[in-house]
């Protein structure tokens, strides 16, 4: 059975659905080139903006939540901002990468202040590099919201609609809106992005969190000169939340192209996002913890899942588990109906048994009479 892992989304052909998510794995052209060489289907670069001088990162900016009885990282918090590399360096890197890898999918993650001119300037300048698509970062939950950027935009559907509209008005390439999970209902901002013409939804960005408090120093982590800010939580702990949000957006907007993100570390994790409607998947923390080489395992595991079920291409199972979500009331009704069906089957079987006994007794009586 030949299995095809390639997929075409918004006219872009990905060799496989595994995309490195925006963050440290795509911090410059050199590491992005390495990820292409290793076989990642696509790449979203680290978010950048027009003016990097306002971006001051801290050390430390990461903190891990480990399993109780092993060193396994369950969750990961970061207070990292967007890229602090100059805009011109990004333009050079992206231009060079598209020359070197014309057939690989390169997506530029961009963010700007709440000004139409700024968003349209960055879109116009970056698309000249030849990148395949934009991912609008409307979702970073820490640091940037203090400047009314990132999640400060993504949590407000009116602003999402406005900003996506500004980008779409000048973009000649597909635009994905990257959404924040830090909202009551993810369908409202995603719906606003789609109304404004977004070609796809990338979700989720990180979940606002406090990873813990150091019980020796009594300071919350990650601690910078004794202080911290709530940061973005990622890694395997966030996967169930991401799956739920992807499912809700996929059900609310049938056929929408979703790039599923959040705690994906294996091909079988990816398969679950696809069953709930994602057509590509992104990996960030997993690649930070396990290295870019994990792509070989991701592909093999996804292929293994497809072979088990006889799927030969990805579209055969994207969204296949979506019809099995219902209301709690309906679950109760289904359970009652199943119980009743079982009861009546049992009663019927008892009736049949009684008939058989009756027959047996009659036969025995007849035998006795004739003997
Ligand atoms: C250290 C770090 C930096 C990140 N930086 C960005 C960023 O610049 N832009 C962005 O859109 N998402 C950023 N993210 C979010 C990831 O792209 C992703 O949405 C999130 O971490 C959930 O996926 P994961 O569990 O695979 O990491 C960052 C995540 C981490 C851990």
- The half-sphere exposure of 335 on its side-chain side, counting CA atoms within 13 A, is 7
The one-digit pLDDT tens for each residue of the chain (371 residues) are 899 999 999 999 999 999 999 999 999 999 999 999 999 999 999 999 999 998 999 999 999 999 999 999 999 999 999 999 999 999 999 999 999 999 999 999 999 999 999 999 999 999 999 999 999 999 999 888 888 889 999 999 999 999 999 999 999 999 999 999 999 999 999 999 999 999 999 999 999 999 999 999 999 999 999 999 999 999 999 999 999 999 999 999 999 999 999 999 999 999 999 999 999 999 999 999 999 999 999 999 999 999 999 999 999 999 999 999 999 999 999 999 999 999 999 999 998 888 877 777 878 878 877 76
Q: Given the CA of residue 236, which atom of ligand 1 is nearest to it? A: 25
HEC letters along 60-126:
CCEEEEECCCCCCEEEEEECCCCCCCCHHHHHHHHHHHHHHCCCCEEEEEECCCCCHHHHHHHHHHH
pTM of the model: 0.95
Interval between CA 225 and ligand 1 midpoint (Å): 24
Q: List the residue whose alpha carbon is closest to atom 23 of ligand 1.
A: 262
- Give pLDDT, residue 339: 98
Interval between CA 241 and ligand 1 midpoint (Å): 15
Interval between CA 333 and ligand 1 midpoint (Å): 41
Catalytic residue among 12, 140, 196, 274: 140
- For tokens 């919201």, what's the residue? 145
61/346 Cα distance (integer angstroms): 63
Closest CA to 76 of 183, 280, 222: 222
DSSP at 145: G
Angle CA 220–224–230, to nearest 5: 50
> How is residue 34 written in tokens?
């390495």
Listed in sequence order, the residues at least 6 apart from 201 whose beta carbon sits closer than 8 Å to its beta carbon are 176, 177, 178, 179, 190, 193, 194, 249, 253, 256, 257, 258, 259
- Give pLDDT, residue 352: 85
44 phi/psi in degrees, rounded to 5: -105, 120
| Ligand 1 residue neighbourhood (C-beta within 6 Å) | 21-24, 46-47, 76, 78, 80, 82, 109, 137, 140, 178, 205-206, 234-235, 238, 261-264, 283-286
Interval between CA 281 and ligand 1 midpoint (Å): 13
- Give pLDDT, residue 368: 78
- Give pLDDT, residue 310: 98
**Contact present, 127 and 173 (Cβ < 8 Å):** yes
Active-site residue flag, 45:
no
Q: Given the CA of residue 202, which atom of ligand 1 is nearest to it? A: 19
- Give pLDDT, residue 5: 98
If one counts every other C-beta atom within 10 angstroms of the C-beta of residue 304, the result is: 13
- Give pLDDT, residue 363: 81
Q: Given the CA of residue 288, which atom of ligand 1 is nearest to it? A: 31
73/94 Cα distance (integer angstroms): 32
């Amino acid at each position: 059975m030949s299995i095809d892992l390639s997929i075409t989304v918004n006219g872009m052909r990905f060799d496989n659905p595994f995309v490195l998510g925006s963050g440290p794995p795509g911090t410059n052209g050199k590491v992005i080139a390495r990820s292409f060489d290793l076989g990642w289907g696509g790449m979203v670069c680290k978010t950048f903006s027009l003016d990097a001088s306002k971006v001051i990162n801290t050390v430390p900016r990461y903190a891990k939540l480990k399993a109780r009885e092993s060193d396994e990282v369950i969750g990961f918090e970061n207070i990292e901002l967007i890229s602090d590399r100059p805009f011109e360096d990004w333009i050079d890197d992206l231009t060079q990468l598209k020359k070197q890898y014309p057939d690989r999918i390169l997506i530029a993650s961009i963010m700007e202040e709440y000004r139409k001119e700024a968003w349209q300037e960055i879109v116009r300048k970056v698309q000249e590099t030849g990148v395949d698509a934009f991912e609008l970062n409307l979702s970073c939950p820490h640091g940037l919201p203090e400047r009314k950027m990132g999640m400060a935009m993504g949590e407000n559907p009116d602003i999402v609609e406005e900003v996506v509209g500004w980008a779409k008005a000048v973009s000649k390439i597909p635009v994905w809106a990257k959404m924040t999970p830090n909202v009551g209902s993810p369908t409202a901002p995603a719906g606003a992005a789609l109304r404004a013409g977004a070609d796809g939804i990338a979700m989720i960005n990180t979940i606002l969190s406090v990873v813990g408090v150091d019980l020796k120093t009594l300071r919350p982590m990650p601690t910078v000169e004794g202080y911290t800010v709530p940061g973005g939580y990622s890694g395997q702990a966030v996967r169930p939340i991401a799956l739920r949000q992807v499912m809700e957006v996929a059900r609310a907007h049938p056929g929408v192209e979703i790039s599923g993100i959040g705690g994906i570390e294996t091909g079988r994790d990816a398969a679950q996002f696809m069953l709930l409607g994602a057509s590509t998947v992104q990996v960030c923390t997993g690649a930070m913890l396990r290295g870019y080489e994990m792509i070989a395992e991701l592909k093999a595991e996804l292929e293994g899942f497809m072979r088990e079920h006889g799927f030969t291409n990805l579209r055969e199972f994207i969204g296949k588990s979506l019809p099995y979500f219902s209301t709690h009331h309906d679950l109760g009704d289904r359970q009652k109906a199943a119980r009743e069906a079982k009861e009546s089957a049992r009663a019927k079987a008892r009736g049949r048994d009684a008939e058989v006994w009756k027959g047996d007794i009659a036969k025995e009586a007849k035998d006795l009479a004739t003997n």
